[in-house]
């Protein structure tokens, strides 16, 4: 797809872009700006005091506790990206190549799993992960010692829930990339003397990179804001950023602090995405060099 150079003097262009631009400004930029402004205010007796003060920022930067939680959030998000992609790729590959006959049925099942409310599914995991839950019951009956797993209310429990709730995203994006690959390219690789495995690494994998990257970005962004899973399955033992922010706003009624922590989380996420984008764009994945 070619992006043409458009002029802001072109009335048709402005007219077509204006609605989107307005929506973006009204629902994204303005709230972001308001959040930024909020960080320079202070609170007294649970009331917002309008000033221009760096008090909140000094607090944020002087308390390592916040940064531990931020780092833990980023680490959890990265692990979640790796795990979801590792699970989603083989599943999407099987769907795109091997299970073509059951394609529709499997897609419908995935969409149903996707549409079922995340709260419901997350609570469902309690039944499985609980000390007296399904997982331990099964393991015991398979001959393992009783109460072998102790996953509920641990970071591992949180991770299981996050992976489970997010894995459908990369599965879809990778699937869409895989089905777009021309089968002749694989035949051409076989013809040139490549084995199936070699063909996978030389042709299939590189050409599915767009789906891999977009899936990874989706999972990363969504797991930075993971809220439900740490609360329900992590039990608040090792809170993530979203919980910290919620506490600042609700429990401590310190809006400027919540806003500042929000800004920190957004900045970390944006910086990491920018770094990844720079890394990815070193070498084109679609056959066109970056301009």
Partner 1 sequence: MASPIIDASGIVKDYGTARALHGVSLQIGTGEFVALVGPSGCGKTTLLKILAGFEEPTGGHLQIQGRDMRGVPAASRPTRMVFQKLALFPHKTVAENIGFPLKLQKVGKTEANGRIRAMLDLMHLKPDYLERYPAQLSGGEQQRVALARALVSQPGVLLLDEPMSALDAKLKKSLQAELKKLHRELGTSFVLVTHDLEEAMMLADRICVMRSGHVVQVGTPADIYYRPANMFVAGFIGETNFLPVTASAAGDGMAVVSPLVAVGKTTIASEHVSPSLSAKGTALLVRPETIRFVKGDAAPGEWVLDGHVEEYFIKGASTQYRVRVHGLDNAVILDLPGSIVLPAAVGEAVRIGFDPTQAFLLSE
Give the range of 97-105, 140-148, 185-193, 251-259 binding partner 1 by CB under 8 A: 185-193
Angstrom distance (rounded) from CA 272 to CA 44 = 35
Question: CB of residue 169 vs partner 1: minimum separation in angstroms?
Answer: 24
Residue 117 or 191 with smaller CB distance to partner 1: 191
Give the range of 10-18, 189-197, 213-221, 252-260 binding partner 1 by CB under 8 A: 189-197
Angstrom distance (rounded) from CA 45 to CA 66 = 22
Question: CB of residue 181 vs partner 1: minimum separation in angstroms?
Answer: 10
Question: Is residue 192 close enough to count as binding partner 1 by CB under 8 A?
Answer: yes
CA quadruple 54, 59, 41, 256: dihedral sign:
positive
In this chain, which of 187, 270, 271, 281 binds partner 1, going by CB under 8 A? 187
Residue with tokens 């764009």: 281
Angstrom distance (rounded) from CA 288 to CA 283 = 9
SS3 state of residue 49? strand
Question: CB of residue 186 vs partner 1: minimum separation in angstroms?
Answer: 9
Question: CB of residue 202 vs partner 1: minimum separation in angstroms?
Answer: 8
Size of interface with partner 1, in residues (CB under 8 A): 23
Cα–Cα separations (whole angstroms), residue 121 to 37, 126, 127, 133, 150: 37, 9, 10, 15, 19
Angstrom distance (rounded) from CA 60 to CA 72 = 16
SS3 state of residue 125? helix
Question: Is residue 285 close enough to count as binding partner 1 by CB under 8 A?
Answer: yes
Distance from the Cα of residue 100 to its chain's centroid: 28
Question: Is residue 290 close enough to count as binding partner 1 by CB under 8 A?
Answer: no
Give the range of 62-70, 95-103, 147-155, 182-190 binding partner 1 by CB under 8 A: 182-190
Question: Is residue 182 close enough to count as binding partner 1 by CB under 8 A?
Answer: yes
Angstrom distance (rounded) from CA 249 to CA 240 = 15
CB of 127 within 8 A of CB of 208? no
**How many of the other CB atoms lie within 10 Å of CB of 202?**
16
In this chain, which of 207, 216, 217, 232 binds partner 1, going by CB under 8 A? 207
Question: Is residue 100 close enough to count as binding partner 1 by CB under 8 A?
Answer: no
**Tokens standing for 40?**
């320079």
Residue 47 or 288 with smaller CB distance to partner 1: 288
Question: Is residue 191 close enough to count as binding partner 1 by CB under 8 A?
Answer: yes
CB-neighbour burial class of residue 281 (10 A; exposed 0-12, middle 13-18, buried 19+): exposed
In this chain, which of 86, 111, 185, 277 binds partner 1, going by CB under 8 A? 185
Q: Which of 145, 152, 142, 161 is nearest to 227 (CA)?
A: 161
Give the range of 129-137, 225-233, 260-268, 281-289 binding partner 1 by CB under 8 A: 281-289
Give the range of 34-42, 112-120, 179-187, 222-230 binding partner 1 by CB under 8 A: 179-187
Q: Which residues bind partner 1 (CB under 8 A)?
A: 182, 184-185, 187-195, 198, 202-203, 206-207, 284-289
């Amino acid at each position: 797809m070619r992006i043409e150079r458009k002029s802001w003097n072109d009335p048709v262009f402005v007219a077509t872009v204006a609605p989107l631009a307005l929506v973006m400004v009204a629902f994204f930029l303005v709230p972001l700006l308001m959040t930024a402004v909020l960080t320079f205010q202070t609170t007294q007796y649970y009331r917002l005091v309008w000033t221009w003060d760096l008090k909140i920022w000094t607090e944020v930067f002087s308390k390592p506790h916040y940064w531990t939680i931020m780092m833990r959030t980023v680490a959890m998000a990265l692990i979640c990206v790796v795990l979801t992609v590792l699970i989603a790729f083989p599943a999407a590959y099987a769907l795109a190549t091997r299970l073509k006959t059951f394609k529709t049925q499997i897609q419908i099942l995935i969409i149903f799993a996707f549409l079922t409310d995340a709260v419901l599914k997350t609570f469902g995991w309690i039944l499985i992960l609980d000390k007296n839950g399904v997982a331990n019951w099964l393991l015991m009956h398979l001959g393992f010692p009783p109460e072998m797993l102790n996953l509920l209310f641990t970071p591992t429990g949180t991770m299981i829930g996050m992976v489970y709730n997010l894995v459908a995203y990369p599965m879809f994006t990778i699937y869409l990339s895989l089905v777009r690959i021309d089968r002749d390219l694989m035949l051409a690789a076989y013809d040139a003397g490549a084995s199936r495995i070699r063909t996978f690494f030389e042709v299939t994998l590189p050409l599915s990179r767009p789906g891999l990257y977009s899936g990874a970005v989706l999972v990363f962004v969504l797991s930075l804001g993971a809220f439900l899973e740490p609360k329900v399955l992590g039990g608040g033992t090792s809170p993530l950023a979203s919980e910290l922010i919620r506490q600042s706003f609700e429990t401590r009624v310190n809006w400027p602090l919540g806003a500042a922590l929000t800004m920190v989380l957004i900045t970390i996420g944006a910086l990491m995405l920018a770094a990844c984008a720079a890394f990815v764009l070193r070498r084109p994945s679609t056959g066109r060099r970056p301009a």
